[in-house]
Structure 1
């Protein structure tokens, strides 16, 4: 039978279809190809996760379709009772006649009993599942060879694939993306068996798909997808390591956007203002540190009286870490002692003590601390005051010469450091992390959060900054938060004990293309095989390796929709094209660009 229609007879708006279609007993012939369809009628008794992967990764042109229809609970229970009755009746009849036991029937009865128990307890459901294959080839001889190979592959999986004889057209349409099962060759699956057959199940990643699973991309070794839930791991931290231009920021922004879909709150330390376009699109908040009129007072305390009693002590310890980063050197014992007493004296001069009722009073400023140090009679106090002079009366004073301008809030907070001088980037990163941590550690607002530190080498090169980041990496899990460390400098991260400890405390490790000079250190730190090292040396932009322990490793290619690419791209050519489209293309729906505060009125807890 032939179905023909001239191309110029097609009415406007109608669907495209082949110019000629010839239907045979087992094949459907198209103008430039021929296809044959099969229905899977026999299945193995037990399967593991990703057992359909060999069919999905078949190198030839093979369409695999899975049609799923849930069975109502009442109908499923009734069918199971009937099946159990039939099996029990057959077993008793054989026993009465003196026949040997039918082990296959006994196994089927056990399976039916387990299914009935699971159904009764609400632990699972039953589904009608149809698995169909359509093989394509340029000619009939080539099709015959492909059929032999596919049926052999199916047999190795203990699948019985039967040809759709006299139903070739129905088999062909069943494998089209129409959602119509024209063959109706179904088999009953329970929830566990169906989950194992789901195409999104990857044999490379044994971790289960959770509520906050994120699509990372397509597997580089198969046609499967890589879904990963960082909050289902031992800890929620991650390390993204790649050389410049490999796509690490693109991947991080893509994961950030998709985690926002799942209700995860995200805070980003952005040195280059790369997340502003994304923040505009999702109604987030972008805080430009170093911009005109932006003030940030690190002496601010929480106003809530329900906070911990040691808040003042923790604030003093953070100020010591901050000042050590400002000075670019680790403080000695004498200098640290002088600084600690000066901080306490500065708070007391402002009327603030360990009594939480005094925390609502105006906090002192950095210039007040310098004044206190100047009055100190020890040489260390005078030296510290002189070293802090640029931050109170010199080139860096603008950020610290007044009270905090505003407080950050929202589901996406971006701390942009682009307006800060290069010498202030590490200080700005530390201040931003401190403000983020106050929200993360607030017990009255506990929820899933992700803290992204882009270009973390800016903080890792400072000893105090690296130590603060390490403490955050160890304490984040206790507060249902994850720390994502993103850097292009492997030496700063892996060349120190603190950097190696941060990597060791990251259950999620994503590696993109590496430079030949760094592959040795990266390979040793992440225990990479020779093949994985070669993959990272030759990876294209957007190709990555997910390392989550010895048993969970998968190479994948990052994929994003055109709309996502517009929001997260940093390619100058693409950004220029988007800018040429007019301001409407990047107009925010609800976007705030404001100053920054380092306090949360509901509480405080530092990882110090």
Structure 2
């Protein structure tokens, strides 16, 4: 009779599996060849499985407390069933529970018995939970946690069960086998949403969220006070525990990031991946692109792409930062004229590739003031709306001046006014791009102008970030920052941006393959010190000593950075570090890859797509309807 009942239950289970497998493919695709039901285990096909229900839990848990169980190296299925409790039912249940606990405490007190510590702790927890539910700070849920352990035979299953139970005990969890309900336990652990065991425990919102299986225990949770900030992006998965690494730069003390890695380590790939996922969160991004690697991405998301070096693109460093208010009036800060004059000193120092002497600086300061006066611009703010002078006007002023070294300065400016590099400064600024993503490409600029081009672009971006009246999160990405940091004046300008970006709700991303330019100078080390997020990818043996000293790496971390594969790196946020590997969907990879072999293969196959195939991120929030019907071309919004 017992064997007949077991066979009947097995047939019912197979019938249920066939019914549930039909929507996913061929009938019976997920049905085992045979099913033998025992008292504490099942023989499913060629394997054996035992199921346990968690009946005891730790009193206090932290984020990701289930991670050791989820990353167990053997084959283990963990099933968490959650059922919300109606607020009225929850309040009545808590009220009755508090009444029972208080009655027990008073009975012990009246009869002179010692207080039970477990009852005292349960009473305090019940009072705290009742208060939070009454204030609407949390809700109650019934949750069942079940574990299915798989093995090849019964002997191996016994060893696996003992190991899993020891691991659960180390997490202060009590696991009980589903004796004489092995079939129901196995079905409960299948992804069908069936809880046939129904051994539940009441959880509040905080405790249940800590059990979320994709919470990374390796990085601190975002600051609750930063609720208005973006929710962060997915970087990849943890190489040690296989948990997800999700990080929010805008929830840190500052929003700056430094990415260091040798050529070919996946530095630009990771930066573009973070950029794309930040766009999903409504973050405005400006990019200084020295190699035109972001053009395809900008076209895909409806961004603006500006090619410096083109005949129709000009930048005038003399223009004052005038902004337009919502009512249409034009205004500027009180010290705009002084700040612009000081910036011109930095601009000319980078342009001439030499730090000016005090005599040069004095002559240049007088010439700048005289050049502005020649077009009617003075310290009076009412004159700031007049057309700004050009670099040619400054060169003419220096040539006419009788001050010492003025002629020398005029001669140094001659190539940029009348020579081969004159096109970029030959007229007023011709581009003031706006949008969710703005990419400034420097590839068409001569090598002699790339440093000053980077400086001019950062000046344009910073003026928009600092002077705009719209408050929104922004990222400024400087790829291959060594182009600017090799100049002392350029490194100083970058340092000032790093120091001031947090006040403007902006974050600066400095990515470079030349570690010596960053860690070899005081200003470079100051940029690193003022960045809350550090990403270290594979390092060259010649640079690993400097990186080890600057970031206080252990021997294991040092060896990891020397042998890391492409895309693998170390995310460091002060005292918290995690080794991760960046992951991208196929659609994201298609937009951000810069592998020459892959791009050549795609071009030869004629697979380059038109812009309408790509995303439209004109709206800060991505609509799922914009992703198309092809599953292979869809971005996993939840994962990103």
Given the two structures, how large is their TM-score scaled by the length of structure 2? 0.88
Whether the 8 Å contact between 2:237 and 2:583 is mirrored in structure 1 is: yes
Within 5 A, what are the aligned runs for 1:150-549? 150-208=164-222, 211-304=230-323, 305-442=330-467, 444-549=469-574
State the SS of the aligned residue for 1:413: strand
Q: Structure 2 vs 1, CA of residues 356 and 465 (structure 1 numbering), >3 Å: closer, same or farther?
A: same
1:17 matched to which residue of 2?
30
Q: Structure 2 vs 1, CA of residues 270 and 370 (structure 1 numbering), >3 Å: closer, same or farther?
A: same
State the SS of the aligned residue for 1:584: coil
CA distance in 2, matches of 1:309, 1:192: 49
Q: Structure 2 vs 1, CA of residues 529 and 166 (structure 1 numbering), >3 Å: closer, same or farther?
A: same
CA distance in 1, matches of 2:497, 2:24: 62
CA distance in 1, matches of 2:265, 2:386: 49
Q: Structure 2 vs 1, CA of residues 178 and 354 (structure 1 numbering), >3 Å: closer, same or farther?
A: farther
Q: Structure 2 vs 1, CA of residues 12 and 223 (structure 1 numbering), >3 Å: closer, same or farther?
A: closer
CA distance in 2, matches of 1:174, 1:241: 47
How far off is 1:356 after superposition?
2.7
Whether the 8 Å contact between 1:280 and 1:589 is mirrored in structure 2 is: no
1:41 matched to which residue of 2?
55
2:153 matched to which residue of 1?
139
State the SS of the aligned residue for 2:155: helix
How far off is 1:156 after superposition?
1.9
Whether the 8 Å contact between 2:280 and 2:617 is mirrored in structure 1 is: no
Pair 1:553 & 2:583 matched = no
User: CA offsets per residue over residues 400-442 of structure 1, 9 Å max, x none?
Assistant: 1122222110011111111111111111100010011012212
User: CA offsets per residue over residues 501-557 of structure 1, 9 Å max, x none?
Assistant: 1111111101011111111010000000111001101111111101111x2111111
Greater displacement, 294-303 / 258-267: 294-303
State the SS of the aligned residue for 1:441: helix
User: CA offsets per residue over residues 294-337 of structure 1, 9 Å max, x none?
Assistant: 12212222344432111011111111111110100011111111
2:106 matched to which residue of 1?
92
Whether the 8 Å contact between 1:566 and 1:578 is mirrored in structure 2 is: no
User: CA offsets per residue over residues 34-57 of structure 1, 9 Å max, x none?
Assistant: 222211111111223332222122
User: CA offsets per residue over residues 370-417 of structure 1, 9 Å max, x none?
Assistant: 111111112411111111111111111111112222211001111111
Whether the 8 Å contact between 1:41 and 1:162 is mirrored in structure 2 is: yes
Aligned with residue 44 of structure 2, among 11, 30, 38: 30
Whether the 8 Å contact between 1:62 and 1:134 is mirrored in structure 2 is: yes
State the SS of the aligned residue for 1:447: coil
CA distance in 1, matches of 2:109, 2:517: 75
CA distance in 2, matches of 1:58, 1:583: 42
Greater displacement, 73-82 / 46-55: 46-55
CA distance in 1, matches of 2:183, 2:101: 37
User: CA offsets per residue over residues 37-85 of structure 1, 9 Å max, x none?
Assistant: 2111111112233322221221211122222333232222121111111
Pair 1:574 & 2:602 matched = no
CA distance in 1, matches of 2:24, 2:248: 46
State the SS of the aligned residue for 2:331: coil
Greater displacement, 237-246 / 278-287: 278-287
CA distance in 2, matches of 1:281, 1:180: 42
Structure 2 residue runs without a partner (length 5+): 1-6, 324-329, 619-640
Whether the 8 Å contact between 1:439 and 1:445 is mirrored in structure 2 is: no
CA distance in 1, matches of 2:383, 2:212: 60
2:126 matched to which residue of 1?
112
CA distance in 1, matches of 2:26, 2:159: 36
How far off is 1:23 after superposition?
4.1
Q: Structure 2 vs 1, CA of residues 275 and 10 (structure 1 numbering), >3 Å: closer, same or farther?
A: closer
Q: Structure 2 vs 1, CA of residues 269 and 92 (structure 1 numbering), >3 Å: closer, same or farther?
A: same
How far off is 1:179 after superposition?
3.7
Q: Structure 2 vs 1, CA of residues 10 and 115 (structure 1 numbering), >3 Å: closer, same or farther?
A: closer
Q: Structure 2 vs 1, CA of residues 179 and 295 (structure 1 numbering), >3 Å: closer, same or farther?
A: farther
How far off is 1:97 after superposition?
5.2
How far off is 1:359 after superposition?
2.4
Whether the 8 Å contact between 1:217 and 1:556 is mirrored in structure 2 is: yes
CA distance in 2, matches of 1:272, 1:193: 48
Q: Structure 2 vs 1, CA of residues 183 and 97 (structure 1 numbering), >3 Å: closer, same or farther?
A: same
How far off is 1:282 after superposition?
1.3
Whether the 8 Å contact between 1:288 and 1:419 is mirrored in structure 2 is: yes
Whether the 8 Å contact between 1:545 and 1:553 is mirrored in structure 2 is: yes
Over the aligned positions, Cα root-mean-square deviation in angstroms equals 2.3
CA distance in 2, matches of 1:552, 1:192: 23
Whether the 8 Å contact between 1:37 and 1:133 is mirrored in structure 2 is: yes
Q: Structure 2 vs 1, CA of residues 179 and 307 (structure 1 numbering), >3 Å: closer, same or farther?
A: farther
Aligned with residue 589 of structure 2, among 551, 565, 569: 565
CA distance in 2, matches of 1:401, 1:113: 74
CA distance in 2, matches of 1:350, 1:359: 10
Whether the 8 Å contact between 2:321 and 2:463 is mirrored in structure 1 is: no
Q: Structure 2 vs 1, CA of residues 518 and 259 (structure 1 numbering), >3 Å: closer, same or farther?
A: same
Given the two structures, how large is their TM-score scaled by the length of structure 1? 0.92
Q: Structure 2 vs 1, CA of residues 228 and 93 (structure 1 numbering), >3 Å: closer, same or farther?
A: same
State the SS of the aligned residue for 2:578: strand
CA distance in 1, matches of 2:597, 2:190: 38
